[in-house]
Amino acid sequence: MQTAQSIIISCAGIGSRLGLGTTKALLEIEGRSLIAWQLELFKDVEDVRVVIGYQANDVVKEVLKYRSDVIFVYNHNYFDTKTGASFYLGSQHANERVMEYDGDLLVHPDDIRLCLEAESEYVAYSDKMSDDAVFVTVNEQGDVLGFSRREGDYEWTGPACIDREKVRYTSGNVYNQLEKFLPMPGIKIRACDIDTFEDYERAIQFVRGWRP
pLDDT digits (tens, 9 = 90+) for 87-145: 999 999 999 999 999 998 999 999 999 999 998 999 999 998 776 788 999 999 999 99
CA distance 184 to 163: 12
Q: What is the CATH number of the domain that holds 9?
A: 3.90.550.10
Report the percent of the chain where pLDDT is more than 90. Answer: 68
Q: Which is higher by pLDDT, 2 or 189?
A: 189
Nearest to 117 by CA among 67, 9, 34, 45: 45
CB crowding 127-145: b at 16 or more within 10 Å, else e: eebbeebbbbbbeeeeebe
CA distance 72 to 50: 5
| Number of domains present in the structure of the chain | 1
Nearest to 100 by CA among 185, 175, 4: 175
Bond before 185 cis per omega within 30 degrees: no
Confidence (pLDDT) at 19: 55
Identify any residues that bridge with 62 across adjacent strands, giving them in sequence order. Answer: none
Look up the pTM and report it.
0.93
Question: Tens of pLDDT along 34-61?
Answer: 999 999 999 999 999 999 999 999 999 9
Integer angstrom CA distances of residue 101 from 68, 95, 98, 159: 19, 15, 10, 5
Domain of residue 54: give its range: 5-210
What are the start-end ranges of the E strands in the chain? 5-11, 28-29, 32-33, 48-52, 71-74, 97-102, 105-107, 122-126, 134-138, 144-148, 154-163, 186-188, 191-193
Identify any residues that bridge with 122 across adjacent strands, giving them in sequence order. Answer: 161
